[in-house]
C-alpha cells in the first residue's frame, strides 16, 4: 500500500527529469533549425534591391496589417507567396506594383489598403523582396495557396 503513495521525492524527480527532457528537446530543435536554415532561405540570392524592399516593407509597417511567412498581423492577406499566387515570373512583379499603385480601390465590402505613394524604385524593391520571400523553402507554409 505504501508503494502507491506519490512522494515529494517522486514529484521532484519527475519535475527535474521532465525539465531536462524538454531542455534537451529545445536544444536539439534549435540546432536542427540552425543547421537547416542556410539550405532553405537561399540567402545567397539577396540583392541590394531585395534588401531595399525589406526596408520599404519595414518603413511602411506592412507587417502591421499583413503576415509574411506567418509573422505579423492578420488583418490583410499573407504575402509570403503573393508573388507566386499572382503570376510568378509571368507577371507577379507587375501585379504587385499595379496593386500597390491602385490602392485604395474603393471596392465595396473589402478592406482597403492605404496609398503609400511609393516611387517606381520602391515598388520594384518591394516586388523583388516579395519575389525573394516566395522562393524561401517554407516546408509548405502557408498551408493553403491564398495564405
* Whether residue 28 is found in the same domain as residue 51: no
Per-residue pLDDT at 110: 87
Q: End-to-end distance of the chain based on CA atoms, in angstroms?
A: 57
Per-residue pLDDT at 39: 87
Sequential pLDDT tens for the chain (147 residues): 456 788 999 999 999 999 999 999 999 999 999 999 888 888 899 999 999 999 999 999 999 999 998 889 989 989 999 999 999 999 999 999 999 999 998 889 888 999 999 999 999 999 999 999 999 988 877 777 765
Rounded CA-CA distance 139/141 in Å is 6
Strand partners, 78: 67
* Whether residue 51 is found in the same domain as residue 73: yes
* Whether residue 30 is found in the same domain as residue 61: no
Per-residue pLDDT at 122: 97
* Whether residue 34 is found in the same domain as residue 82: no
Range of the domain at 71: 42-134
Domain with 119 in it: what CATH number? 1.10.760.10
Q: Is residue 20 part of a domain?
A: yes
Q: Is residue 105 part of a domain?
A: yes
3-class DSSP string for 93-144: HHHHHHHHHHCCCCCCCCCCCCCCCCCHHHHHHHHHHHHHHHCCCCCCCCCC
The number of distinct structural domains making up the chain is 2
Q: Is residue 18 part of a domain?
A: yes
**Residue 71 in contact with residue 63, Cβ under 8 Å?**
yes
Amino acid at each position: 500500500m505504501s508503494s502507491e503513495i506519490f512522494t515529494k521525492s517522486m514529484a521532484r524527480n519527475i519535475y527535474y527529469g521532465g525539465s531536462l527532457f524538454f531542455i534537451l528537446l529545445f536544444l536539439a530543435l534549435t540546432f536542427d533549425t540552425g543547421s537547416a536554415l542556410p539550405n532553405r532561405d537561399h540567402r545567397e540570392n539577396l540583392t541590394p534591391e531585395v534588401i531595399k524592399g525589406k526596408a520599404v516593407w519595414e518603413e511602411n509597417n506592412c507587417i502591421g496589417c499583413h503576415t509574411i511567412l506567418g509573422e505579423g498581423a492578420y488583418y490583410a492577406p499573407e504575402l509570403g507567396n503573393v508573388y507566386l499566387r499572382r503570376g510568378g515570373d509571368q507577371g507577379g512583379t507587375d501585379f504587385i506594383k499595379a496593386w500597390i499603385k491602385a490602392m485604395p480601390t474603393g471596392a465595396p465590402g473589402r478592406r482597403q489598403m492605404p496609398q503609400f505613394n511609393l516611387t517606381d524604385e520602391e515598388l520594384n524593391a518591394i516586388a523583388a523582396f516579395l519575389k525573394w520571400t516566395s522562393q524561401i523553402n517554407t516546408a509548405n507554409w502557408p498551408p493553403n495557396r491564398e495564405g
